[in-house]
Amino acid sequence: MNLDEQQATLNLPGLRLPWKTTLAIIISTLLLTTDHYVDIVSNLLSDDAFGKVVRDKAVERVGLYLLIPLLVIALVFRERPAAYGFSLGDWRAGLKWTLVTWAIAAPVLYLAGRTPDMAAYYVRYEQPFAGILLNAALELIGWEFLFRGFLLFALYRVAGPSAIVLQAVPFALAHLGKPALETFSTIFGGTLFGWVAWRARSFLYAFLIHWYVSVFVVLVALAAR
């Protein structure tokens, strides 16, 4: 893609907005809002059991946060998903920083997961180990692509390195309602995830880190009962 196409603008009175970045921000906001207010799968298959609600939400987020952005990239932006981090990228750098982060995060997550608020919140996610792994993967694959793929690489075109912090802002706000310790930490964790995605040119390694974090905290909370 040439530079003129990357910087194509949407012209409003007194404004020239980069149309792809603007649309990525609007779509991301609408998807997050829809996720908050509408339980699509649960409404189709009504069941009040907490475990089923969690699974339904995880499946729903694959569609909202992964499939819809991919369709926008391919059909509206007319670009390859790899331009938005949907690739292996620099897999050596990605795996290196994934393993380093896993090692550093383990003791921090252990202490955090045993705090009363975190333990009480995540003990509800009890299920067989394979279910914990699968649920977290479904929950986070789209979540990470939305923030560390679609939004990060769209913002980077107009904001440069500041995009790494900017994408962490809606990520942190999306955690409101979770334990305070987790929510306060997400601006820093989201920035780290963004840096790893930018460094590796792929959202996949941020996904692996976030998946590890999620599973680790649930296991610690269950062990602390």
**Six-digit token pair at 61?**
């987020």
Residue 211 has pLDDT above 80, yes or no: yes
What are the residues whose beta carbons fall under 8 Å from the beta carbon of 193, sequence distance 6 or more? 144, 147, 148, 168, 171, 206, 209, 210
Q: What is the pLDDT of residues 161-182, one digit of tens each?
A: 999 999 999 999 999 999 999 9
Q: Which residue has the tokens 């963004």?
A: 194
Domain boundaries, the chain: 3-223
> What value does the mean pLDDT take over residues 25-46?
81
Q: Report the predicted TM-score, pTM, of the whole model to 2 decimal places.
A: 0.90
| 8 A C-beta contact, residue 143 and residue 158 | no
| Separation of alpha carbons 165 and 153, rounded Å | 12
Residue 200 has pLDDT above 90, yes or no: yes
**pLDDT tier, 41 (very low <50, low <70, confident <90, very high otherwise):** low
Q: What is the pLDDT of residues 122-144, one digit of tens each?
A: 998 888 999 999 999 999 999 99
